[in-house]
Structures are given as C-alpha cells and as structure tokens.
Structure 1
Amino acid sequence: MRALFTFAGALLLASPAYAAKSAADLAIRAVTVIDVEHGTRIAGQTVIVQGDHIAAVGTDAAIAKAWAPARTIDGKGRYLIPGLWDMHVHFGGGPDLIEENKALLPLYVANGITTIRDCSGDLPEQVLAWRGEIANGTLFGPRLLSSGAKIEGIKPIWKGTVEVGSKADVDAAITRLHDRDKVDFIKITDSTLDPKLFLYALGQAHAQGIRTSGHIPMALTVEQAVDAGISSIEHMDYAFKAGVKDEAAIAADFAAGKIDRAEANRRLDVGFDRATAMAAYRNFAAKGVFVTPTLNGSRIISWLDSEDHSKDEYLSLIGPKLRKTYDWRIERAAQADAAGIAARHAHFDRMAAVLPMLAEAGVTIIAGTDAGFLNSFNYPGQGLHDELTLFVKEGLTPEQALSSATRAGPAWFGQLDRYGAVAQGKAADLVLLDADPLKDIDATRTIRAVVMRGKLYDRAALDAMLAETRAKVAAWDSTH
C-alpha cells in the first residue's frame, strides 16, 4: 500500500500542474500590451523577461503556472510598448566635447529610447568605440548604431569625414567603413562631393548590400538618388524637393552654374506640385526608401523669433560647451528681418504639409530628431517625444507616429525579427507607460519604467540618471 501511494505521488508531481516552474528575471503583470504593428491593445497580459529577451507573453493565469520571476512589477492600468528608437542623432563639437557628448547617453534611456542611430558628427572614432563599449556592457547607454565617418568630397566644411575625389577613393572609403570600422550604414553628404561620385557611392554601397543615407546634392534630382539605391532620405526638405515639378530643370541650372543655391531654393519653394509629389512618393515606397523628416529641429529654428528657450529646464542636462554650439544658429536666425521670419515660418509649414502625403503614398516614416551639437534646443531624449507630437499635429495618427519610433527603425535595419514588438522571442527593450499612446501620442512621455537589454530601470532609477547628468553639468558650469 505504501508503494502504491508513493507511485501515485510521483505521478502527481510529474503532471503539468506540479511541474517545476521556469526561472525568469522579471514579470510585468496585468499590463495592456500595445501591438504597434496592428494598432491594437491587448489587455490583461503578463510579460516574462529572461536574460535579454522576452520569454513569454500571455494571461496572468497561464504565466503563473509556468514561470517563477525573481521580480514582479504591477502593470495594471498601464501600457507596454517596444523600446523607442531615435533614428537620427549626432555627437560632435570636437575632442574637447567628448565627455559632454558621452553624458547625453543616459538622457536617451531616461526618455525610453533604447536604440539610437548616429548619423555622423566629427567624433566618428569615439562614437564607434562607444558602440562597442555599450554592446559589451562597459558603458551605459542605448544600443548605438553608427555610420562612423561620413563620405564627403575634398576639403568639406564638415569635419569627421572620409574625403573622396575619385571612384577609387570611393571604393577605398566603402571598404574602410564596411570592413575595418564595420559601420551599420554609410552616410554620404554633399558639401564638396562631386554629384557623380555621390551617385557612384550610392550604387557601390547598394551593390554590396550596405544601407545608405545622406544629403542629396542640389545638382541632382532626388529621383536620381533613389534610382542609385539610397536607403533613407534624411530631412523633409529632400522629400519636398522630390515633389517640385521642374526639379530636374532646377538641378540642371544649378549644375551648369546658371543659378546659385539661394535662387535654386527660391524656385523649389514655389514649385511644389501634389501630383508630382505623390508619384515620387509612391516610387519611394515601391523601392523601399524610408524618410526621416526631422521636423522638430526645423520647427525650433523656424520659430526662434517668438519662442524663448533660454529658460528651458532641459538646458540643465546639456553641457556648457555643447550649449555654446547652439549659438551659430541662434545668431543667424536673429539676423532675419520681418520678411525673412515670415518666409522661415512659411517654409516650415510647406515642409510639414508633406508628412501626410508620404503616409498616404505608403512611405515608411522614421522618427529621428537630428538632436545633438549645433542643433539649437533640439534636446537628446526629449526631442523624440517632441517629434512624435509634431507628427500627429501635422496629420499622422498616434498609431502611425508610434510605429515610426518603434518599428520603422528595426524595419530599416532588417531587424524586425528581434525588435519592434512586445512578443515572445523579441528583445527585452520595453517602455511601461501610465497612459495610452494610441489615444494620445503624448502618452509616450508618461514613462513609469524602461526595460533595456532585459534590465529594469524603474522611475526612481530613471530620475537618478537625470539627476546624475544634471550634477555633472552643474560641475562643468562651475568651472566653465
């Protein structure tokens, strides 16, 4: 009889109800998961984090039977989204500003941004080093993807470049960036770069499967860059330019020296045509070309005449030498007369009006801020939320805006298998919000906690990051 009871007990312990639970690092209970891909809410979910990935997502009852988390947080009444991506940031200002630039990294995390795309400044080697240090855990910051040094012409105005003056130079630059620096994409700009070499660089990178972005030379049409293989168009001005009916004639006249840049811009400003634009944007979509509007930085500069940023609380998080780099844009904007100010406002409104047209044409819109040195009051971290607010103000739905900051980045890098959703097997990069971002995009600012690479940073930890940065800036200010 004793043997019979022992055998029966063993059967009970071996049954699913009595099976040993799997260990986990974290459970977020009773939360509403935002399915960004479909724009829906899934209420009453428990999310299990194990290591740096999401191990399970399901109802609390089902999860409780299978998992034993070391830590549990209550998500009731809150909303869980994938980690945010800022797909256009800059670090720079010269070697003297390295530490002030490094101090920006926690600001991204404190604002729910778990991945950033560095679009090249003048500290490319330093930024690539940070990329590795963040990846191996010796430097705190969001996952960093970088172009390294940008490709430019000979003696460009921008520092931190690989200068090229021939096709052989372009080939060598791509080899260096791809093979030695192992960059995540290549940035090409147009300060002194021959337009033909610009197209050649795009074509060579495209042929090797390397993603590219850049500033398109005035002497080319946007369509030429798209046909050559550019992967993303940075800044709305270029998308607007693609919608100008006589863009080809303007580009030809500029290339021939018949008009200067000011005249070319004047003709572009008055030449926009909706039908031309929609045809161009449908071509973007067909060829998989994404657009990063960077509206917030443009809006800030456009309204410097009436908006005083000198008392912005966020300035206490920006080092004094970085703040100093803001001056050149501020001073230039201050020189405008009433007509110039009105023109600046009108120009921004024209650019912003393109946004819903891109969405209508099926173009993937990427959220990126252009935050960093030089770009006045466009703050690392906060700027992404400002960008999303602008997206909705200018015609996107909250769902579209949220997707631009959670799914567009992974899609551009071909990483949707790992990022961009709260689902089993995805990266444990998550943001817990107090409000519903599908109802009001400003809910992305109501951050209760961030999970990055599987580690939880609650509100107290996020506030501590901000306090530590503020203390660093205060110390720099005292000696500056």
Structure 2
Amino acid sequence: MKKRLLLLLTLAILSCKNTPEPLDKDSDFDLAITNIEIIDLEKGDLLQNKTVFIKNDLISAISDSQSNTSTATQVIDGTGKFLLPGFWDNHVHFRGGDSLISANKNFLALFLANGITTLRECGGDMTSTILDWQQKIANKQLAGPTIYTSGPKLDGKNARWEGSLEIASEEDIAPALDSLQLLETDFVKLYDSKFTGELYLKTIKAAEKRKLISSGHMPFSVTLEETTAAGMDGIEHLYYVLKACSAEEDAITKDIIAGKTSFWASLDRVMHTYNKESAKTAFATLKSRDVYVIPTLHINHTLSYLDEENHDKDEYLYYMGDGITKTYEGRIKSALNASAAVVKTRKQLDSAFVSLVKNLQDNKVKLLAGSDCGAFNSYVYPGISLHQELKALVKAGLSPLQALQTSALNGAKFLKKENIGSIKENYKADLVILNANPLENIDETKNINLVIKNGKVFKSLEQLKTTP
C-alpha cells in the first residue's frame, strides 16, 4: 500500500526534473522538443526531424531541426522518438461516493502516466468533487488530465446510478437541464435504466434546442432514427446501433414498449436478425447526422469473459485500492451466477460488436475511443484501459492511424473544442512522446517516454516504477 501511494505521489508532484537544467532564463520559449518525428493524425503523415517550441502551454512554433536558431529554457532531445497529441479517454467515470474520493483522485496520476491528457467524464455521484478537480487542474494547482464532464446523468424515476437527475415527467426536463447549465457542464449524458422513450426523446430535443451536446445510452423503447432525429450527438456502446441493424428493429421496439420482452432478453433476437440493408440504413443515418459512436470494445470483452479469465495477478490491481476492487464484486458475482444461455449471448455479442466496429469505420461513421473505466466496472483500469481499447479497435479491423484518430482528434471534434487535439501552432501543448512508432504497431502507444501537460513534463509509469 505504501509503495503504491508513494508511486502516485511521486507522479503528482513531479514536474520538469527529468529535463536538463535551464539553458537561458531569457530564452524565447519555455520548452523545445528537438529532432522529433511528429505524427500528423489528420493526414497520417510522419513529419521528420522537427523541433516543437512551447510557450505558456501552447505550441508556439514548429520548424525543421536543422534550421533552428531559437532558444528554450528547457530542451528535450527527441531523437528516434515520436510525438503525438496527448491521448483522450472519451468515456470514464469518477464515482463510488465520498468514501472513494481519494481512490478516484489517485486515478488522475495513472491517466497522466499513461499519456492521457484529457478525459470525457460520463457521470457519477461525485460532481462537486470533479468540478473542483477540473478547476484546480486548469489552474495548475493539481496534476491531472483536463476533465470535460457531463455532471450528473439524466435518467428516469428510481434511476439505477447514485447521483442521477431523475426525469419522471415532462416538467422535470427544463429544471434538469437548467441545473447542468448552472454547473457549466460540458455535455449532457442520458442513461437508459428507467427513462421512458417519450421522455428520453423530449429531453434530447430540449437539449438540442439549447445547443447542448448530448450523448448516452438508448432505451430499447426508441429507435435509432427517432433518437438521432431528436438531436443525439453520441451513442455510448454498441447495443443500440446493433439493434438498428436488425430487420426487426421496429418490432423489437414495440415489444419492449408493450412489456413483452426486455433489453437483455431481446439481445439474442437482435443478433440473429442482423440485416445488411438495415445496417446500411443505420450507418447512413449516423453518418449524415454526424453522430459519433463510442464502441467500448475492451470493457465489453472483459465483462463477457469474467467467468473464464482470472484477473488476480493483473498489474493494475496494485494501483486500485481495496475500496475500488470492492465495487467490482457485483459484476463478478453476476457473471459467475449467469445461466449458460446468458453467458453464450454475452460472448456472441462480443464477437458481433467487433464485426460492427469495422462496418462503422468502413461506412465513415465517426468513432470515439473510450474505456468506460472506473469504480464498478470490473478490471477495466484507469489509464491502461484506453490503450487496450485502441488495440481492440485495431484488432477489429481499424488501421493504427484510424484507431489513434478516435482518441484526441475525434474527441476534440465531438466536444467542439478548438485548438486542442492536434499538433499545430497555437494549439494546446498536451503532448506524449513515444519511444517507437504506433503507426507500425498500436502496442507502442504504451511505450511512453514523456508526457507534457500544463507546462510540466511527466514520466511514464514504467519509468516511475524504476525511480530510486
């Protein structure tokens, strides 16, 4: 325990100690990364032997290393290394109540050590704490990734998750959205545990009218056409897209509304009625309406195989703490007690989702890499799980470049954030230096040399573990 906490504390307070001493206090820039290979995520180009100058947390200039005449207070030699925008994890959770605030705060260090400089936080029961961290990180009072948060989830009456804002009638919609805007949250997150289809669609329309970005689960009591027409911007997870690929989507929706079946009971039917023409229509709808999809392949595989895979020796269990691992018990118990039919369906879904992702990419539907890490999501560990998600996307058929685009590049576009997520002049200097080229092997995203965030340079987790 002490070693783990010391490791995290070391990261949290570490700044530019890994770089040379200042060269010139009167220099032109704060930091220069010389002789580096820049990966242009938009074009897929590799820009060789470049120097990147940083001042006041912004990329001030990019030049050929041979022609450099400018000076910098600190210099990093990037020879043989590769520069990317800092990674974005586009689906994470901080949650578990007051007793787990400290454990959740430790995750900030794990994210940075894994090169993740931005998070899209998708709701929980720690909103005031998250907003406090958000401000302190922005003000450089706390080391951590930039956090864009939904604040509380929106759901129906008697919602599953603590901290949710419940919408039991149409009159509840405006006050719920008012509260999110008062908190200055970054998007609206809708959940599907208790939402009626009617109120769900009306909530999306109300958010759209206010020009708020919305994403979420979809009740099976609505169709993909209805949801996207209402103004939904992002679909979390693949269950809902897969349902839209069924030749019986409308019939399944009607049966759900009539109470003849349930979400889980209908999934086998959804899979076995997959239809190429229905899928083509669904993909065209998502593309034409600029709706992003967050596949979360890694968590689905992890949870689908809890009955087979032993995680007792996972390295990252070392960093979780007893409070977090205690929250894993619910899903583990459910998996171990599931019937053979349920286990079979889960594993078939895992395969179906992998195939679906390649079809989405081929049909030019925009994807976001998100891990869904956090308390309650068993063995999906903050930090490393984003890299596992990127690997899962490549295994599903995306190229390494396409997988990388789903992180920072698409993350910034989805939230309509400017001057971040790419390596360009006047862009935020959230950067990760890799020891090898991830365009050749996606596993190299874990081969981190240094991470740059808020003007500070952080070591990777592997380096910290060997720090005397």
TM-score (norm 1): 0.89
Partner of 2:211: 209
CA gap 1:467/1:164 in 2 versus in 1, 3 angstroms: farther
Are the equivalent residues in 2 in contact too, given 1:449–1:456 (CA < 8 A)? yes
Greater mean deviation of Cα atoms: 255-264 or 85-94: 255-264
Structure 2 partner of 1:263:
265
The equivalent residue for 2:42 is 37
1:274 aligned partner? 276
Alignment of 1:329-478 (within 5 A): 329-415=331-417, 417-459=418-460, 463-464=463-464
Q: Percent identity?
A: 37
- Whether the aligned pair in 2 keeps the contact of 1:326 and 1:375 (CA below 8 Å) is yes
Whether contact under 8 Å (2:327, 2:376) holds in the other structure is: yes
CA contact (8 A) 2:115 2:460 kept: no
Q: Does 1:322 align with 2:334?
A: no
Distance (Å, rounded) in 1 between the aligned partners of 2:46 and 2:264: 49
Is 1:60 the counterpart of 2:61 in the alignment?
A: no
Amino acid at match of 1:97: L
3-state DSSP class of the match of 2:43? coil
Q: Distance in 1 between matches of 2:37 and 2:264?
A: 51
Alignment CA distance shift 1:339-1:253 (3 Å): closer
C-alpha displacement at 1:344, in angstroms? 2.2
> C-alpha displacement at 1:454, in angstroms?
2.6
* 2:112–2:458 contact (8 Å) kept in structure 1: no
Q: Which residue of 1 aligns with 2:32?
A: 27
Give the match for residue 88 of structure 2: 85
For structure 1, the 5+ residue unaligned runs are 1-20, 469-480
Q: Which residue does the alignment assign to 2:116?
A: 113
Letter in 1 for 2:185: V
SS of residue paired to 2:37: strand
Partners of 1:231 and 1:248 lie apart in 2 by 22
My pick for the range that moved more, 346-355 or 160-169, is: 160-169
The one-letter code of the counterpart of 1:420 is G
Q: More deviation in 330-339 or 220-229?
A: 330-339
Judge which range, 252-261 or 386-395, deviates more: 252-261
Q: For 2:28, what is the secondary structure of its paired residue? A: strand
SS across alignment from 1:353: helix
1:188 correspondence with 2:212: no
- What secondary structure does 2:420 align onto? coil
Compute the displacement of 1:459 (Å): 4.4
Amino acid at match of 1:272: Y
Between the aligned partners of 1:106 and 1:165, the Cα distance in structure 2 is 38
Residue type matched to 2:200 in 1?
F
Mapped to 1, the partners of 2:146 and 2:131 lie a distance apart of: 12
Question: Which is worse superposed, 439-448 or 255-264?
Answer: 255-264
Partner of 1:149: 152
**Residue 200 of structure 2: aligned partner:** 198
Is the deviation greater in 356-365 or in 269-278? 269-278
SS at match of 1:213: strand
Cα gap change, 1:459 to 1:341, in 2 (>3 Å): closer
Paired residue type of 2:294 = T
**TM-score normalised by length of structure 2:** 0.91
Letter in 1 for 2:130: V
d(CA) in 2 for partners of 1:238, 1:263: 14
SS of residue in 1 equivalent to 2:313: coil
Aligned to 2:245: 243
Change (3 A) 1:467 1:251: farther
Report the AA paired with residue 38 of structure 1.
K
Counterpart Cα distance in 2 of 1:263 and 1:330: 20
1:53·1:453 contact (CA, 8 Å) conserved in 2?
Answer: no
User: CA 1:242–1:156 in 2, change beyond 3 Å: closer, same or farther?
Assistant: same
Q: How far does the alpha carbon of each residue in 1:306-363 deviate from its partner, in whole angstroms, 9 at most, with x for none?
A: 2211111111110211011011111111123555433322120011110011111111
Distance 2:265 2:222 in 1: 16
2:159·2:194 contact (CA, 8 Å) conserved in 1? Answer: yes
Other structure's SS at 1:170 match: helix
In structure 2, relative to structure 1, the CA distance for the partners of 1:301 and 1:262 (3 Å cut) is closer
3-state SS in 2 of match to 1:103:
helix
* Partners of 2:194 and 2:305 in 1: CA distance: 30
Residue 472 of structure 1 corresponds to: none
The reply on whether 1:176 has 2:179 as its aligned counterpart is yes
**CA displacement, residues 115-139 of structure 1 (integer Å, 9 cap, x when unaligned):** 0011001222221222122212222
Instruction: Please state how far the C-alpha of 1:257 moved relative to its aligned partner.
Output: 1.8
- 8 A Cα contact 1:153 1:191, kept in partner: yes
Amino acid aligned to 2:422: A
Matched positions, count: 443
CA contact (8 A) 1:88 1:371 kept: yes
Instruction: Tell me how large the CA RMSD over aligned residues is.
Output: 1.8
Question: Equivalent of 1:139, from 128, 139, 142?
Answer: 142
* 1:223 alignment partner AA: E
Residues 279-318 of structure 1, C-alpha deviations (whole Å, 9 max, x = no match): 2112111111000001111101112222211111111110
- Aligned partner of 1:283 in structure 2 is 285
Aligned mates of 1:196, 1:342 — CA distance in 2:
32
Does the CA-based 8 Å contact 2:267-2:345 persist in structure 1?
Answer: no
Distance 1:327 1:260 in 2: 24
Q: Which residue of 2 aligns with 1:123?
A: 126
Name stretches of at least 5 consecutive residues in structure 2 with no aligned partner.
Answer: 1-25
Are the counterparts in 2 of residues 27 and 69 from structure 1 also a CA contact under 8 Å? yes
